[in-house]
Structure 1
Amino acid sequence: MSLNLDLLGRPTEPVLREWTERDTLLYALAVGAGADEPAEELAFTTENSHGIEQQVVPTFGCVVAAARSPRALGDFDVARLVHAEQSVLFHAPIPPAGGVRAISTLTGAYDKGKAALLVQESTAIDVRTGQPLVTSTGGFFVRGEGGFGGERGPEAAPWELPARKPDHEVVYRTRRDQPLLYRLTGDRNPLHSDPTVAERAGFPRPILHGMCTYGFTCRALLHTVGVGRPSRLRSMSARFSRPVMPGDVLTARVWDEDGRALFQTVNGKGDVVLDRGTAEYRAV
């Protein structure tokens, strides 16, 4: 088993990614929209409600921007791959139906000793306008693939929570079958569905996709600092600090810092599962 470091710095060929209203509706359901009260998020979960125009949960952009799965970056065991961090820049609102040409580039491969950290940047260009729609950057740990002699990588940017209680707390309950729903949006990693793979990775059962937790948290940001408008969210970044088990209660804690927000997401035990969160948003 090994990493394919020959891919470093080499962009993929552009991949056409198209989606319909059905895909964006499914994504909204997969990240919990409408689960607690179906009538509250009809803009994300329906396309024909009276007086309501369909909108898209912005993190759907991460799905369509990916031209290459991180599993294609080597022949390592998928049970050793975990999502470490994610950032995304929204250049424009995601349309309910559309298409992009997506390109992914392995921009970093860092030696963390017992693990490798792979960083892949993906850019999605709107086929209608020719303009960037989404830039998505993911960091992925591959356990057991360190020690190849590479650099350790840059230090993390400073990040510190304000010395006050959160300005907003949003509580969501995930479903026991949430990973089976979320995988229909494109991420079929068996770590989230196959008990055998989950056990090999050291988990008692399949875990929730980190990007599903990310999507739940994006909804919390939309309904607090975003005042329900996806067009306000300019960027979002966070570190995955602990796996989420399907059925866990998630609480997004948000601090409004005048033009940006800091956030953490914790599980029902109070453990931080999404850390070092920063979101930038546009003026109303």
Structure 2
Amino acid sequence: MTEPFMPEGLGEWTDPDKFQVTAERITEYAKATNDPIQAHLDGEVASPVFAIVPVFNAMIPAVFSVVPVEYLGKVLHGKQDFVFHRPIKAGDNLVARVKPIGYQKQSTGSVVVQLLETRTDEGELVNEQYMTAFFRGVDSGGSAGETAPDHTFPEQLRDTEPVAVVTAHVDEDQTFRYSPASGDPMPIHLDAEMAQASGLPGIIAHGLCIQAFTSWAVLTSVAGSKTERLKRFAVRFAKPVLPGQDITTRIWASPDTPGTYHFETTVDDVAVIKDGLAEVAD
């Protein structure tokens, strides 16, 4: 019998989780995501997607305050939406916390939306994130709370030329470098047998690693490689990426909103990241 989700867990913050940012950890993350931006490689300023690292440990208890723990093997990363108030820098002492804000029943499973918040130890807001977890084939028993903010790709842009196209190679050892750099030990990224037992073709790349690839594609193409210019960065994970594959990110400028870009990432013309949105300040 399917266990329903638990609405009483919604809106409850996790205990604060402290994280000290070092130049070495910033550099390790940049190298693990093939990031070409020198400030990231030098450990001065963190890659935008590095923002997941300080808050990662708080996500698990938050989601399972709503979802019965027996569904752990059913979870996939559905969407990730970063809102940046400033970049993370070496020497920052950060405090992160998470709260689940809603869940929704869908035709092929159920999703849980979490709000992730990172501040300095003095209370300065550094970033907020909306993380959507998808539970395959799981019936939540209904819907409750909030949904994540929208970042749907405008279909009319497909009839126009992108402003940039960036192709990158996902290395065979990418997941083994990304796992320690990010703190994500999920076995589907490290153990082929475990991945196959979960219904996957083999080891798959971390979704956030691929999002990090797209972040430097956007920064180098339309933001002058300046991390501080990126104010929002959102994606929907559509298909797994395998080590050894090439990914191509196509970036379109919004015809209506200056500084807003939409993007999509493909492997052999199959979309692996959809509904990409980047908001870039002058």
Whether these two folds match at TM > 0.5 is yes
Return the offset for 1:66. 3.6
1:193 aligned residue: 190
Give a deviation string over 1:23-75, Cα, whole Å, max 9, x none.
111111111124xxxxxx3322235xxxxxx3321111122134523475131
Matched residues in 2 for 1:241 and 1:181: separation?
A: 23
Q: If each structure's helix is expressed as a fraction of its own residues, which one has the higher value?
A: 2
CA contact 1:67–1:122 (8 Å) conserved in 2: no
Give a deviation string over 1:104-154, Cα, whole Å, max 9, x none.
000111112441201111100112x42100101110111132151335975
2:164 aligned residue: 168
Aligned identity (percent) is: 25
1:265 aligned residue: 265
Sort the Cα spacing of 1:123 and 1:154 in 2 relative to 1 into closer, same or farther, 3 A. Answer: closer
Matched residues in 2 for 1:271 and 1:17: separation?
A: 37
> Structure 2: any 5+ residue segments left out of the alignment?
none
Q: Which amino acid aligns with 1:31?
A: T
Return the offset for 1:6. 3.4
CA contact 1:79–1:197 (8 Å) conserved in 2: no
Give a deviation string over 1:58-102, Cα, whole Å, max 9, x none.
111122134523475131344311001110001012112322111
Farther off after superposition, 110-119 or 86-95: 110-119
Matched residues in 2 for 1:114 and 1:159: separation?
A: 22
After TM superposition, what 4+ stretches of structure 1 lie above 2 angstroms from structure 2? Answer: 1-6, 69-72, 76-79, 149-159
SS in structure 2 at match of 1:191: helix
Matched residues in 2 for 1:142 and 1:100: separation?
A: 30
Sort the Cα spacing of 1:235 and 1:137 in 2 relative to 1 into closer, same or farther, 3 A. Answer: same
For residue 227 of structure 1, the aligned residue among 218, 224, 228 is 224
CA contact 1:66–1:103 (8 Å) conserved in 2: no
Q: Indicate whether 1:111 and 2:105 are aligned.
A: yes
CA contact 1:67–1:104 (8 Å) conserved in 2: no
For residue 180 of structure 1, the aligned residue among 171, 176, 183 is 176
Sort the Cα spacing of 1:192 and 1:271 in 2 relative to 1 into closer, same or farther, 3 A. Answer: same
TM-score (structure 1 length as normaliser): 0.88
Farther off after superposition, 226-235 or 256-265: 256-265
Q: Indicate whether 1:43 and 2:39 are aligned.
A: yes
CA contact 2:172–2:243 (8 Å) conserved in 1: yes
CA contact 2:74–2:135 (8 Å) conserved in 1: yes
1:58 aligned residue: 48
TM-score (structure 2 length as normaliser): 0.88
Matched residues in 2 for 1:9 and 1:86: separation?
A: 19
Farther off after superposition, 258-267 or 105-114: 105-114
Q: Indicate whether 1:136 and 2:129 are aligned.
A: yes
Return the offset for 1:172. 0.7
SS in structure 1 at match of 2:70: coil
Q: Which amino acid aligns with 1:11?
A: W
Farther off after superposition, 74-83 or 201-210: 74-83
